[in-house]
A and B are shown apart, each in its own frame.
Chain A
Amino acid sequence: MSVIIIAELSEKKIKKQSLEVISYGVALANQLGTDSIALVMGETVDNLSSLGKYGLKKVIHQQHTASMLSDNKLACRFIADVCTQEQAKVVVFSNSLLGKAVAPRLSVKLRAGLVTGAVKLPDTSNGFKVRKSVFSGKAFADVDILTPIKIISLNANAFEIIQQSDAVAEVVESSIEIGAGTLNIIETKKNEGNISLADADRVVSGGRGLKGPENWGMIEELAQALGAATACSRPVADSNWRPHHEHVGQTGVAISPNLYIAVGISGAIQHLAGVNRSKTIVVINSDPEAPFFKAADYGIVGDAFQVMPKIIEAVKNLG
């Protein structure tokens, strides 16, 4: 019996979101009195045995994945084989692009109930109740998984990374054969900007209050100084001031960074639906009545063009 944790790579390194899911899976395995095993797919420069410090006993590594991450049918079959081999009781994913592509398939294949968007450890005192985010972050639901095997995908920034010791994990190279799929990847394109919105720990976002695309320099400068990704409200993307992949909200990307700074955004309910799970929200808006202040932790009522340069300067002066 085991908890299988799907850990993902970005630029050949374990993603931060995957360290969260590893910490979550280890805590869950302890709660259930079973072992935790991470599964890493793809070429990596990380020393996987060092993942032992998060409490993992074992890491299974599959080097040859080719298009497996795009071809969820192949990924699902492979993960299902590992689950059978390791007698998985629970499988945990990040609620990431990979998680969204593969976890539902795996749910059917293993006949295992799936809860996506979990925000904390399950309550296993009576059933197996997973708390998940619903109504676009406006509420939570408790969902009982009724099947013997359970699958959970964990929201970003919902669980803290816990380092336990200097222990070393056993690393096993998987010998499971991966067949060929019928999908053909014609082209891959990277977005500009180095930090991807979904993985970002901090996000600086601009709205129509910034008046035009020519004024985005200060958003980018603050983002760069903070190591943050940039985002925008929907009308900003619709007017092509910013690329569409930066649009956050109900109909755009939903994010839950540690820090979300909204500049010149009114805080319409559809915008909040995509950002209200952020840990700390800062709002800069010239209108004291802007609805966003009700959802904010910190606010400045003021003109962004006056306030932002001073904030950028203060961030740059931080040691």
Chain B
Amino acid sequence: MKILVCISRTPDTTAKISFTNQNTTFNAEGVQWIINPYDEWYALVRAIELKEKDSTTIIHLINVGNNENEAIIRKALALGGDEAIRINSESNDPFFIAQQIAAVAKDGYDLVLTGKETIDHNGSSIGGMIAELLDANYISLATKLDIENGNAIVGREADGGEEKISAPFPLVVSCQKGMAEARIPNMRGIMAARTKPLKVAEAVQSESFTAVTGFDLPPAKAGVKLIPADTPELLVKLLREEAKAI
């Protein structure tokens, strides 16, 4: 089993979000960068667990990004995974990124894992694009993943519930909560990561379908209207008459 895990870099979950250059560029000053939580906690850790069950499993990591991404790629390698490839590119167009990943994934990978979404772009779209480019099945928002008798057994969120699906390989799965528990890299992993291969390749030729032209922050809230604790029924009145929410 050969698994390709897609790793992206995002600002830390507590990062302050602001923009510069007339609201066209994310202000990265003072921002801590992390592995996108869905990629780390769910996609990568589940791949590692599958390898722990079957040691013939090969895990490769892929990131499309510039060399600033190497710190998080090393961290991902410290958690587990055999080697990583970085496709050198600054693009943030989902189709362009998916093309880069598909170009690598078509080289004999059985399973491509992505996170449910990046917590900065919130696209939730790269996994589905990779699947279509590979003409493979895609199971989105998966909460469980096992391999039985040469098929993937995947649990996924469905409308108002869950469904369990059996799917042949090759397969693309986007991973969310439920899939695995977060892990912390240990010293051995960190040492090993230093010598694991991190290849860099140039991007393959691809079109971009979209371009981000600017950002904006939501208008500040008017401020909270406090209701005295001894008259909570007033809240219900305001929700009906003022907010028209009930």
Which A residues have a C-beta under 8 Å from some C-beta of B?
A: 10, 70-73, 76, 95, 97, 100-109, 111-117, 127, 129, 131-147, 181-191, 196, 199, 202, 226, 244-245, 247, 250-252, 258-259, 269-270, 273, 276, 279-280, 282-283, 293-303, 306-308, 310-311, 313-315, 318
Contacts and interface: CB of A to CB of B under 8 A. Distances in A.
B233 A310 contact: yes
Interface residues on B, range: 35 or more
A300 B235 contact: yes
B126 interface: yes
Given A273-B119, A280-B243, A299 B127 contact: no
Interface string B159-179: 111111111100000000110
A142 B159 contact: no
Contacts of B17: 135, 138-139
A41 B17 CA distance: 40
A161 to B, nearest CB: 15
Given A117-B122, A135-B122, A183-B166, A142 B212 contact: yes
A104 B125 CA distance: 5
Interface string B196-232: 0000000000011111111111100110111111001
B140 A100 contact: yes
A283 B224 contact: yes
Interface of B: 11, 13-14, 17, 19, 37-38, 41, 94-95, 98, 119-129, 131-133, 137-141, 153, 157-168, 177-178, 207-218, 221-222, 224-229, 232-233, 235-240, 243, 245-246
Contact of B235 (A113, A186, A189, A298): A298
B165 A108 contact: no
Given A134-B215, A244-B177, A299-B227, A97 B132 contact: no
Given A270-B13, A297-B225, 18 more contacts: A70-B163, A100-B128, A109-B132, A140-B215, A144-B211, A144-B212, A183-B165, A184-B166, A190-B160, A259-B243, A293-B224, A294-B224, A299-B224, A300-B229, A300-B232, A302-B232, A311-B236, A318-B246
A282 B227 CA distance: 10
Nearest to B234: A314
A10 B167 contact: no
A141 B211 CA distance: 10
B236 A146 contact: no
A186 B177 contact: no
B235 A97 contact: no
B122 to A, nearest CB: 6
Nearest to B19: A139
Contact of B178 (A185, A244, A294): A244
Nearest to A117: B122
Contacts of A117: 122-124
B221 A294 contact: yes
Of listed B127, B222, B232, B243, residue having the most chain A CB within 10 A: B232
Contacts of A247: 177
